[in-house]
Amino acid sequence: MNDLKKKKIYLAGHTGMVGSAILRKLNSEVFENVIVKDFPGVDLRKQAEVENLFATEKPEIVIIAAAKVGGILANNIYRAEFLYDNLMIEANLINSAFQTGVEKLIFLGSSCIYPKLAPQPLKEEYLLTGSLEFTNEPYAVAKIAGIKLCENYFRQYGCNFLSVMPTNLYGINDNFDLQTSHVLPALLRKFHEAKERNNEKVILWGTGKPLREFLYVDDLAEAIIFLIKKINAQNLYSDGITHLNIGTGKDISINDLAKIISDIVGFEGKIEYDSTKPDGTPRKLLDVSRINKLGWKYQTELEDGIKKTYQWYLSKPEAMI
């Protein structure tokens, strides 16, 4: 373990919600040699810049938390960028890791890789067994390509590259922009602003019926550290799977989530739905039995995580812009 703490770890995407949570965790575990160098310094979509970064820094472990991400509307509007940017980022990072002999790489994807109507809960082996959900198909295709890059660099060259698929994440440093955010930060903001302005109602998107599973981002960071320490690509691929699910194994309807958030925020008005906005996938509950058996389990219950996120939001006026 002491050796591991001295390894040079390159965390790609350290400024986002996920990357910043992983960075906090790496630092708190006293990993001594963590490098963080991406946008605007290095544009990960540019092959030459990524190759130069790897040639100069020579990382030994790589974590790919860098991605173009967003909620249902952003995925559906910026379809070309969600596909192109994510393909370029992951292809450049994974191939550079191969070329420079990186010892271990962890690639982060998303639960939207599974078919829209797959049986629930979603087992790892359901990948590529049916059609994807339309709103996030470009993002999902890019993330599936990333899984397949890791798998096939392992199959052809034996690279220790593994992929993990977290469920919907939330927490501090989340994006609270109402056009591009995911549902949980959007609801915190909508209920908070409605309370502050004494509005009678809050309008949410879709029907409120879809079910989603939410994981507090610091729990995901714990899972990543656990995987760095304990799990290698061989463990996954020899078990016949290409990636590991990470989640809580519990889901909730958007309408029930809205009730919890409005209670926490203290909004007492009505909740209405705008059915001109998409619902997206009806349900995406991950089967997390594999990672649980390996020895990792989530810690933060939904209400506690929402309270922590709301406290952070209130303490950061810039998140409200």
Return the active site residues: 139
Distance of alpha carbon 47 from alpha carbon 62, whole angstroms: 16
> Does residue 21 interact with ligand GFB by CB under 6 A?
no
Instruction: Indicate the residue among 25 and 182 with the shorter CB distance to ligand GFB.
Output: 182
Is residue 131 exposed (0-12), middle (13-18) or buried (19+ Cβ within 10 Å)? exposed
CB of 210 to ligand GFB, least distance (A): 4
Instruction: Indicate the residue among 102 and 187 with the shorter CB distance to ligand GFB.
Output: 187
Distance of alpha carbon 74 from alpha carbon 288, whole angstroms: 27
Do residues 164 and 244 lie in contact, with contact meaning Cβ atoms separated by under 8 Å? yes
Q: Which of residues 174-193 bind ligand GFB (CB under 6 A)?
A: 181-183, 186
Binds ligand GFB by CB under 6 A, chosen from 86, 96, 110, 248: 110
- In this structure, what token pair is assigned to residue 279? 């619902």
Going from the C-alpha of 315 to that of each of 2, 45, 60, 122, 303, the distances in angstroms are 36, 33, 37, 36, 18
> Does residue 309 interact with ligand GFB by CB under 6 A?
no
Instruction: Indicate the residue among 99 and 275 with the shorter CB distance to ligand GFB.
Output: 275
> Does residue 146 interact with ligand GFB by CB under 6 A?
no
Going from the C-alpha of 25 to that of each of 28, 31, 63, 294, the distances in angstroms are 5, 9, 13, 20
> Does residue 313 interact with ligand GFB by CB under 6 A?
no
> Does residue 247 interact with ligand GFB by CB under 6 A?
no
Do residues 290 and 237 lie in contact, with contact meaning Cβ atoms separated by under 8 Å? no
Helix and strand totals (H; E) in the chain: 12, 12
Q: Which of residues 68-107 bind ligand GFB (CB under 6 A)?
A: 71-72, 75
| DSSP summary character for residue 198 | T
Binds ligand GFB by CB under 6 A, chosen from 5, 8, 277, 283: 277
Binds ligand GFB by CB under 6 A, chosen from 13, 16, 280, 305: 280
Size of the site for ligand GFB (CB under 6 A): 24
Residues contributing to the site for ligand GFB (CB under 6 A): 71-72, 75, 110, 112, 135-136, 139, 168, 181-183, 186, 204-206, 210, 212, 254, 277-281
